[in-house]
Structure 1
Amino acid sequence: MDLGFHLVLIAGLAHLVAQVAKCVGNNRLVYVCDGGMPSGHAATVAALAAGILLLDGASAGFAIAFVLALIVMHDAMHVRSEVGRHAVILNKMQQKVHCKEAVGHSLVQVLAGALLGIVVAGLYVFFLRFL
């Protein structure tokens, strides 16, 4: 199997683990919801970057994935939080249509997601060595 296949699996597993972790903490299905602990966005991009680093070394691909991971995590914390604040104001202005207000992540949620992604990538590569 080629590198791309493993990287897609690593990123997908990290995202799945993050979303399942949200369900465990809330006793409900929140896979389709935005926000929450841990950040699925951060887990996915951190796992992808860590997977590239572990499987391909400090390559140009890792540099690209790392920079894009930082952008996605910044967006998850800042830009999406602003969208949530705008939704609160819009919901107060109009009573008929409600906008989703909880769409951003806190720093702790993003860091937890990133750590989760790195751990998933590390475990995947560890077990891959034995297959």
Structure 2
Amino acid sequence: MQKLCGFLACNYILYVPLLSWLAAQICKTIIDLFLTGKLDLERMFGAGGMPSAHSALVCSMTIATARKFGVSSPFFAFAFILAAIVMYDAMGVRRAAGEQAKVLNRIVDDWMNEEDDEENPLRENGKRLKEKVGHTPFEVLSGALLGILMAMIFPVT
């Protein structure tokens, strides 16, 4: 464990993104608590919501890489491209999957209300598709700004 802590402490480009992810997840959990009035610990580890932890992680990694190696380094180029892909995916494919899950859940709910069959295979044990898997552009932007802020707060080591 001591070696792991030493490894994290000396690896700026690793610990800053991990702390940014953690900060985003904590913020997401607190925001959800205020909006719903109940503590949902799934928000601490689940995808989707405000702010985007994925965006916070990749943006902080990109800024940390720029601060350590400069914007003309191949490391920065790789981090920048990865961040762009992750944020685009969060707003595109993953958000579309969440919207589709909402529609499918509604269809199954409506159909089950019409059918009195208790052994309906579409809803085993009351399971629903996860609807919070992607992000709105505002959630991605908020995560990106949090990641940038986190990378700027910690000194380059």
Instruction: Give the TM-score normalised by structure 2.
Output: 0.73
Provide Cα deviations, 1:22-53, integer angstroms capped at 9, x if missing partner.
Answer: 12222223112221111000000000000000
5+ residue gaps, structure 1, are none
Would the aligned equivalents of 1:55 and 1:125 in 2 still touch at CA under 8 Å? no
The residue number in structure 1 matching 2:151 is 121
* 1:49-128 equivalences in 2 (<5 Å): 49-58=62-71, 59-95=73-109, 96=123, 97-125=127-155
Letter in 1 for 2:61: L
Q: SS of the residue aligned with 1:125?
A: coil
RMSD: 1.9
5+ residue gaps, structure 2, are 1-5, 34-38, 110-122
The residue number in structure 2 matching 1:8 is 14
The structure with more radius of gyration: 2
Could you tell which deviates more after superposition, 94-103 or 46-55?
Answer: 94-103
User: Percent sequence identity over matched residues?
Assistant: 38
Q: Cα gap change, 1:23/1:88 in structure 2, threshold over 3 Å: closer, same or farther?
A: closer
Instruction: Give the TM-score normalised by structure 1.
Output: 0.87
In structure 1, C-alpha distance between the alignment counterparts of 2:17 and 2:61, rounded to whole Å: 5
2:33 aligned with 1:18 = no
- Size of the aligned set, in residue pairs, is 126
Q: Cα gap change, 1:87/1:9 in structure 2, threshold over 3 Å: closer, same or farther?
A: same
